[in-house]
Amino acid sequence: MKPIQKILIANRGEIAVRVIRTAKKMGIKTVAVFSDPDAQSLFVQSADEAFSLGGTDARSSYLDVEKVVKACLTTGADAVHPGYGFLSENTDFASQLEKHGIRFIGPKPHSIEAMGDKIGSRLLVAKSGVPVVPGYEGASQEISVFKKEAEKIGYPIMAKASAGGGGKGMRRINSPEELEAGILSAKREALSAFGDDRILLEKYITNPRHVEFQIFGDTKGNIIHLHERDCSLQRRHQKVVEETPAPRYPSDLKIKMSEAAVMAAKSVQYEGAGTVEFILGESGEFYFLEMNTRLQVEHPVTEMTTGLDLVEWQIRVCQGEELPQLQTPSQKGHAMEVRIYAEDPKEGFLPSIGRIHHLSFPTRDYLRIDSGVVSGSEITMFYDPMIAKMIVWGEDRITAIKRLVECLSETIVFGPKTNLQFLQKLVSAKEFAEGKVSTHFIADNEVELLADHTKEELKLALSGTFFTSKELTSPWSKETT
């Protein structure tokens, strides 16, 4: 297969900058597409060429398939990297590119379609022997049927939109009295967000952890995993902290889950980068949640501990090459990622728009900053208000936490309000250092996490006192990879 000559990045912000960086390293030309508000953005300046899509919001620019395909044909791009979000899991877009002989740096449309539907993917992976949460995914959407099935599953249950993602169309239902209102509410939100109001039911797992596996497949049929990521710290189903290796995670459990992740990917003959997500119960039971058929926001923690460039792997697989490694690589040390947002935690985390008058990060050899903005950039109402992803590495988990607290405290943002102090409080928490967290941790401790730092707290965290007791020794000191 002919090597890729020019990649158009159908995305914006930090992920566009990050893809451009790898493409340049590989000697491949790049094209940035941009909306009117993004005309002066860092990613536009970083690419070899830029093409205006016009429009202001995502729907009139980055989500307009016709405009993006036209940009490819006009600029002569022979491949498209979709980043994540926007068109990254859009089968129509991937098919349109295929018709024009333009390569989509991602899985084949049939894989995206198979995993894009929660009901369909549940049935598919269960058939392959992957454990799924006990539930109901039948065709009938009658309330009377939901009531009968919920009784069989046992309360509490989760109602989930079949076409859902990002927590939209999800409701916890605690009793038969709440069922009808919960189902109808989830259906309304699902119809509004996805144009599809089909709902499935799943047993509610108490105090769960969210653990996912990075997987990779090539056109030769090879599929491997690149270790797990723990993404349990979430707010309203949105990940806030991601790390690898997962803390307090037995080796035998890791083997079972990694095998299930690879089986799930094989069920759709997967090619490229993907993530298989599991929910992990308190007693070690695990169930398939979903498979994301794209690069994940948190992929840098995998790169920090394996030394791999996952975007380079994506490009090589798209060119028809075999995976650079056919065995799971070893991991070195521990990596954590947080997302710094322009938002006001004390006002319900509402986006804080406006000009960033000054932005600076500390410089460390163990620190990686992925950002699409600089001093002088505008945070607008049109797009996600993320300022940067901060990723740190340490020889062990405790060192990584200490370094993350330190780097957050030295980050300076003048202009919009940010979640910097919230993140410092979160990663300084004793329970977090002990690895005793679940997906409910932030909601259960929100009042304390939103309180202002005392000088003593910050001083204590930076001194490492939180992390030096004997029982907080890295749980990975006895683990194998």
Six-digit token pair at 130? 């992957």
CB atoms within 10 A of CB 50: 19
294 labelled catalytic: yes
Going from the C-alpha of 252 to that of each of 249, 284, 457, 480, the distances in angstroms are 9, 10, 37, 10
Rounded CA-CA distance 190/322 in Å is 39
Element (H, E) at 403: helix 397-409
The answer to whether 351 and 386 are in contact (CB under 8 A) is no
CB contact set of 392 (below 8 Å; sequence gap of 6+): 335, 336, 364, 366, 367, 368, 400, 403, 404, 407
The answer to whether 42 and 54 are in contact (CB under 8 A) is no
* Catalytic one of 209, 235, 294, 397: 294
Judge residue 283's burial from the number of C-beta atoms within 10 Å of its C-beta, 0-12 exposed, 13-18 middle, 19 or more buried.
exposed
Q: Is the peptide bond before 245 cis (omega within 30 degrees of 0)?
A: yes
Alpha helices in 417-480 (DSSP H): 420-428, 430-433, 441-444, 446-450, 455-463
Six-digit token pair at 50? 């830029």
Tokens 């006895």 locate to: 478
Six-digit token pair at 325? 């490694």
Going from the C-alpha of 259 to that of each of 223, 263, 323, 433, the distances in angstroms are 11, 6, 18, 28
Phi, psi of 278 (to 5 degrees): -125, 155
Active-site annotation, residues = 294
